[in-house]
Amino acid sequence: MLIGSNQQPLIKWTTRGLYCEKGDFYIDPCRRVDRALITHAHSDHARVGMKSYLTADAGVGILKERIGIDSSISGIPFGKHQRIGGVIVSFHPAGHLLGSAQIRVEHRGEVWVVTGDYKITHDISCEAFEPVRCHNLITEATFALPVYSWPDSQLVFEQINQWWLNNQAEGRCSVLFAYALGKAQRLLCGIDHSIGPIGVHGAVEKMLPYYRKAGRAIPEGLLKANAENKEKLKGVGLIIAPGSVQNTPWLRKFAPYSLAFASGWMAIRGARRRRALDRGFVISDHVDWKGILNTVDNSGAECVGVTHGYADALVRWLGEERGLRAYEVSPKYAKDRPGEEAEK
């Protein structure tokens, strides 16, 4: 009943993205299509221009914010089964950011799961990852090398708090670069906001109402990091902003400052040093190597498709060391690893 060489796979790679013919829909398509199922609102997964979108209820607000209020977006509760064409579809928490989902597709007892981006480590800013049993798992592989092994996030938050305190002692502003959707909110929920004033960049602020509405512990009294609040933040504040503001006049307003980046890529010294940062904090919204292997084990899948990142190594490892049927979902070189600025 699983994909044999003579049988069509339930979900396959096309130039428009992952396609399910039996249900006639695409998952996170990269070109315009009629029906798009979206795992989460990051720009490499949710693109404008689809005729209709379906995403998890918990992610509808953020998706609208990202791709436009006028788009035709419907939501579906986590876990609810819905028939689309000849298949049954359901969304399950991916633990990547608020409302992020894995998509489960079932056809005559054959179950496929597309993880989208996910993590299995603790994160109070979003729903916890839910393991889903399946026959064929399509997993992301952003950090699929055994050199990536995430430290306990609580320890990382303590490091960030300490760095902030040290900067205060030196009269420096603490500027923490983080991806504006997901990571930034996770940091806001995790750091000790009693240390001092916190400023947020506009791109980060935009997403806060959705997190607050969902009851996530975003601290009150956050400041807009702008010229008006400059004096309140200088020397004592913590500013959370996307990495793209490095070397901009906007950032220079808050000098003197210490620059840090919160990302899984910071596990490697080279990545930290070539961005000319003072600190790198290892905290990721993707799974690490062990996390992927655990997820594969827990899913019970005999067949594993790999996409989004270090596919080669994971495919080979799953095949040789675990004896699974593993394959790379996207064609070679078409989807190479994203580079450290885009941990989406």
Partner 1 sequence: MKGFSELYLSLDASNRKNEKLAALRNYFSVVPPEDGAWAVFFLTGNRLKRPIRMTDFRKWAGLACGQPAWLVDECYNHVGDLAETLALLLSERKRSIQIQDRPLHQVVQEDIIPLRDLGLEEQRERLESIWEHLDGSSCFIFNKLITGGFRVGVSQSLVAAALAELANVEPAIMAHRMMGIWKPTPCAYKALFTGAHSEDQSAKPYPFCLSYPLDEIARSRLDTISNWQVEWKWDGIRAQLIKRGNEVILWSRGEEMLTDQFPEIVEEAASWSGSIVLDGELLAWDHDSPAPFSELQRRLGRKNVSVKMRNDVPVLFMSYDLLEFDGVDFRNKSTQERRSILQSWSSGISSRYFGISPLIDACSWEVVLRLREESRRRRVEGIMLKRKEAPYHSGRKKGDWWKWKVAPYTIDAIMIYAQLGHGRRAGLYTDYTFAVWNEDSLVPIAKAYSGLSDLDIRKVDRWIRQNTTDSHGPVRVLEPKQVFEIAFEGINESKRHKSGIAVRFPRIIRWRKDKLPKDADSLKMVRSLLAVDS
Which residues fall within 8 angstroms of residue 261, CB to CB, at 6 or more apart? 176, 177, 178, 243, 272, 275, 277, 279, 280, 281
Beta carbon of residue 268, minimum distance to partner 1 (angstroms, whole number): 5
- Which string of b and e fits 192-215 if b means at least 16 CB within 10 Å? ebebbbbbbbebbbebbebbeebe
Select from 42, 234, 272, 279 the one that contacts Zn ion (CB under 5 A): 42
Select from 21, 24, 44, 130 the one that contacts Zn ion (CB under 5 A): 44
Select from 7, 15, 43, 149 the one that contacts partner 1 (CB under 8 A): 149
Beta carbon of residue 289, minimum distance to partner 1 (angstroms, whole number): 8
Q: DSSP states of 221-271 as a string?
A: SPEE-SGGGHHHHTTT-EEEE-GGGTTSHHHHTT-SEEEEEESGGGGSHHH
Q: 299: closest CA among 54, 159, 120?
A: 120
Select from 123, 140, 340, 343 the one that contacts partner 1 (CB under 8 A): 340
Site for Zn ion in 131-190 (CB under 5 A): none
Residue 223 interacts, among Zn ion, partner 1, none and using kind-specific CB cut-offs from 5 to 8 Å, with none
CA dihedral (201, 152, 194, 124) in degrees, to 10, reads 70
What's the CA gap between 60 and 336, in Å, rounded? 28
Beta carbon of residue 82, minimum distance to Zn ion (angstroms, whole number): 23
Instruction: Count interface residues toward Zn ion (CB under 5 A).
Output: 4
Site for partner 1 in 294-323 (CB under 8 A): 310, 312-313, 316-317, 320-321
Between 30 and 195, CB nearer to Zn ion: 30
Q: Are 35 and 21 in contact (CB under 8 A)?
A: no
Instruction: Count interface residues toward partner 1 (CB under 8 A).
Output: 32
CA dihedral (271, 241, 214, 27) in degrees, to 10, reads -50
Q: Does 127 interact with Zn ion (rule: CB under 5 A)?
A: no
Site for partner 1 in 30-69 (CB under 8 A): none
Select from 215, 269, 323, 331 the one that contacts partner 1 (CB under 8 A): 269
Find tokens 């979902």 and name the residue: 329
Q: What are phi and psi of 16, to 5 degrees?
A: -90, -5
β-strand partners of 238: 174, 198
Residue 298 interacts, among Zn ion, partner 1, none and using kind-specific CB cut-offs from 5 to 8 Å, with none
Select from 273, 297, 298, 300 the one that contacts partner 1 (CB under 8 A): 273
Residue 42 interacts, among Zn ion, partner 1, none and using kind-specific CB cut-offs from 5 to 8 Å, with Zn ion
Q: Which residues bind partner 1 (CB under 8 A)?
A: 145-147, 149, 267-280, 290, 310, 312-313, 316-317, 320-321, 333, 336-337, 339-341
